[in-house]
Amino acid sequence: MAKNIRRLIAVAAAVSLAATAHLTVAAAPSAMTLDEVVSALHQSDVQYNTLESMTSSKDYYIQKEKNAPDRNHAMQGSEALPSKLDLRDVGGKCYVSPVKKQSPWPTCWSFSSVAAAETSIAYALGHDYNDKDAPDADKFDLSERHLAWFMYNALPEGNRFFPSQAGEGNYPVQDTEALDNQQKSAVIFGVGGFMSQATTLLSAGIGPVLEKDVPYEGKDAELYDKYYSSYSIRIDSSGFVDYSSMTPLLTEVSMSEEQFGQFVAQYEENGYIYLPMETVQGMLAKENPEYADKTVFFSMVHSGNGDWTVDEKYRFHSEYEMLEANILANPAQADENGAYVYDANATEMIKNELVHGRAVCFTYKADQSLPGQTLSDGSYFQFIDKNGQPASDKEHAAIWAQYSFDRSYDPSESGSVNRKVFDVNHGACIVGYDDSFPKEYFNDPKGTLQGDGAWLVKNSWGCVDAENPAHREYWGNGGDGYFWLSYYDQGITNPQSFRFGSSRETSKVMQNIDMYDFMPEVSRDRVSFDGDVYMSNVFTAKNNCTVRFIGIETVDADTTVEYSVYFLNDGAESPTDGACVVTAQETYPYAGYHKIDLGRAMPMTKGSRYSIVAKAAAKGANTVYFNHAEMRASLNGKIKIE
């Protein structure tokens, strides 16, 4: 991943005319000067670049953990939560969509985000997935392909909604236009991602759309050749992967298997070591002494999956309106040395979302990151039969129970540290829990499990009885596509839930969005100040409309936002030079995206200018939100492994 050229993108609020907008920074009278704010943001960017340039993945993740925003909300009334819950059976209704299969792409982030969205929408609208003959059943099957495509497909030239922002977005390679449709599909769907990126798209009115409109399938596979991409990467003297050394050797080159074999042999003669891609994935964020001071290389083969491109007309289509995306605390946390710390409060946060009908997507360390893969260092699963005893094999197991832990930890050695598992490689969706799930069901060879309890997790690797033949695969509890994950799994990170409107009719009117910066992000950052500091955006109405909604994105839990809407004077040079028509205050228990209803629709004529001004405070400090984004020219064809 290129790190050499970055720019700050000030972020925070958005207006719905519905409209949406990320805010730039403005200093208030008698508050901090703009120069002071810019200087602080610049210093944060310097620290970020220093962190990104670290060669030890272990130290990198420890530092990221130490610098992470505060996601912990002060939970109240958690004693009222039930001891178990399964959103597949709530009063006889199933609010969980059928298990799907993500093959052939590493699009787990999209599948887990869509799974959480589907459950939230079904619960809000009372849809029962058991009712296969419901007249509107297809309205509750959303498209994963739509999110995955537009995540890495930047705004094109000539786009009529945001012409001044053409070219903004993610670029998995520098020049996708030079690729044919199969190459382009392989690059875009092969990158991987995180659930927070889905939030960025949904808050901008990009999805969700229905599966029937953008189905998860390609076309014309037989018309394309196989393409190979190969990358070399250096292992440092400590045995850790040096991310900064990753270099492309081949980029989407069409060749026969014999030609590829000759290519591999040539590099092996020059001292390189060829390893399967899944082996390299398993080496991330841990010591690999057998490869210390060596250069390895791996390849990706895009073998005839065909054309998965999505028509641009679907970019700004939304079947439902996202009202909130809650970023929750990680149950698996780490201290200053990287040692694993369990956060019981974070577990209660996830349970609370589930009780309110919101499934939770998240990332964790899996044995494999794609269906059919097997990592070389063993399994985190233990398989249990219907009698609660170890099963002879996974095909005869009623329960698949996973617990990921630090394999290098040795409790018999006084200096050994039980580290949090940092190298997560998969995303899935929590749809239930059971406080009494026995800890003895988990593979815990080092005796580190702290107690009973597990999450019921929906995966995206198929199930044995899927209605769609393409989704059939024997995987999970009795082949049903689900598994149990310990509360104390040391890799659970990035939990997030969604809340959608309870009326599809309401969502139809919230179509016109004003916003800046189409830069889908993995995570927001923030700089805190003791003095007052404000964020703002200024917009010009594209047509006659009414301003009714504001979208706010917060970084820390328990953040209070003061916001104002101004109708600006002619020639105004300040976001507060005009009539203040609304001022209010909201406190948000969770970090994430929040849509505010102003309570009344304010008429706006075409060409009029208006502004949104916001001040955010959490834990006694005022905060400015921003995102570190890469310039297109800095990418130079590099990718990151996920």
Residue with the larger pLDDT of the pair 221 and 533: 533
Please, is 436 exposed, middle or buried when counting C-beta atoms within 10 Å of its C-beta (0-12, 13-18, 19+)?
exposed
Residue with the larger pLDDT of the pair 373 and 616: 616
- The H or E element containing residue 268 is helix 257-269
pLDDT for 324-344, tens place per residue?
999 999 999 999 888 999 999
- The H or E element containing residue 50 is helix 34-52
pLDDT for 385-405, tens place per residue?
999 999 988 888 999 999 999
Confidence of residue 258 (pLDDT cuts 50, 70, 90): confident
Mean pLDDT of the 48-64 span = 72
- State pTM to two decimals: 0.83
Confidence of residue 1 (pLDDT cuts 50, 70, 90): very low
Strand, helix or coil at 310? coil
Q: For residue 67, what pLDDT is reported?
A: 77
Query: What percent of the chain is modeled with pLDDT above 70?
Result: 85
Residue with the larger pLDDT of the pair 382 and 35: 382
Residue with the larger pLDDT of the pair 507 and 130: 130
Closest to 378 in 3D by CA, of 405, 339, 351: 405
Q: For residue 117, what pLDDT is reported?
A: 97
Q: Which CATH class is domain 6-58+525-633?
A: mainly beta
Integer Cα distance of 233 and 294 in angstroms: 9
Residue with the larger pLDDT of the pair 21 and 539: 539
Q: For residue 30, what pLDDT is reported?
A: 47
CATH 3.90.79.10 fits 87-218+311-499, yes or no: no
pLDDT for 105-128, tens place per residue?
989 999 999 999 999 999 999 999
Dihedral angle over CA of 497, 501, 502, 504, nearest 10: -130
> Residue 14 pLDDT more than 70?
no
pLDDT for 521-542, tens place per residue?
766 678 888 888 888 889 998 8
Task: List the Cα angle 487/490/496 in 5-degree steps.
Answer: 65
- The H or E element containing residue 254 is strand 241-254
> Mapped to the 3 state alphabet, what secondary structure does 520-564 carry?
CCCCCEEEEECCCCEEEEEEECCCCEEEEEEEEEECCCCEEEEEE
Q: For residue 612, what pLDDT is reported?
A: 92
Lowest mean pLDDT among 27-31, 258-262, 376-380, 565-569: 27-31
pLDDT for 452-496, tens place per residue?
999 999 999 999 988 888 888 899 999 999 999 999 999 999 999
- Give me 284's structure tokens: 């991330």
Integer Cα distance of 199 and 206 in angstroms: 10
Q: For residue 15, what pLDDT is reported?
A: 38
pLDDT for 59-96, tens place per residue?
777 777 877 888 999 887 666 899 999 999 999 999 99
The residues of the chain that CATH labels 3.90.70.10 are 87-218+311-499
> Mapped to the 3 state alphabet, what secondary structure does 101-112 carry?
ECCCCCCHHHHH
Q: For residue 566, what pLDDT is reported?
A: 93
Please, is 404 exposed, middle or buried when counting C-beta atoms within 10 Å of its C-beta (0-12, 13-18, 19+)?
buried
The residues of the chain that CATH labels 2.60.120 are 6-58+525-633
pLDDT for 180-204, tens place per residue?
888 888 888 988 888 888 998 999 8
> Residue 505 pLDDT more than 80?
no
Measured between alpha carbons, how far is residue 204 from residues 146, 536, 556, 584, 590 in Å? 14, 17, 21, 23, 20
Task: List the Cα angle 547/197/159 in 5-degree steps.
Answer: 55
